[in-house]
Amino acid sequence: DAGVTQSPTHLIKTRGQQVTLRCSPKSGHDTVSWYQQALGQGPQFIFQYYEEEERQRGNFPDRFSGHQFPNYSSELNVNALLLGDSALYLCASSDLAGSYEQYFGPGTRLTVT
């Protein structure tokens, strides 16, 4: 049973650039949530996608956008990168009609220089 996968594992970008992170949910899951985790902090909710629509959004600026594809995979896009965007970006998948549990992928470590 394939778990949640994310790519790339690590990424280094320059301030002002744009980045796209990718996530494939666990088999049988239809909902994808994205979180940002700064060093020493708990993850912060960015947004959640279900049926290719943004279902919920956290307190993040419009520079953060996302997309969900018909196969339930998802992308997180961040424009005009700031130094403060350096963090671990986590994707979590869940089954909206089933268990409330969310399972995390390995994450993408983004460094903005």
DSSP-derived secondary structure letter, 69: -
Number of residues this chain uses to bind another protein (CB under 8 A): 27
The nearer residue to another protein, 15 or 93, going by C-beta atoms, is 93
CA–CA separation, 93 and 3 (whole Å): 9
The nearest distance, CB 77 to another protein, in angstroms, is 19
CA–CA separation, 72 and 104 (whole Å): 15
Other Cβ atoms less than 10 A from the Cβ of 12: the count is 12
Is residue 92 part of the contact set for another protein (CB under 8 A)? yes
- Residue ranges that bind another protein, judged by CB under 8 A: 31, 33, 35, 40-45, 48, 56, 58, 88, 90, 92, 94-96, 99-107
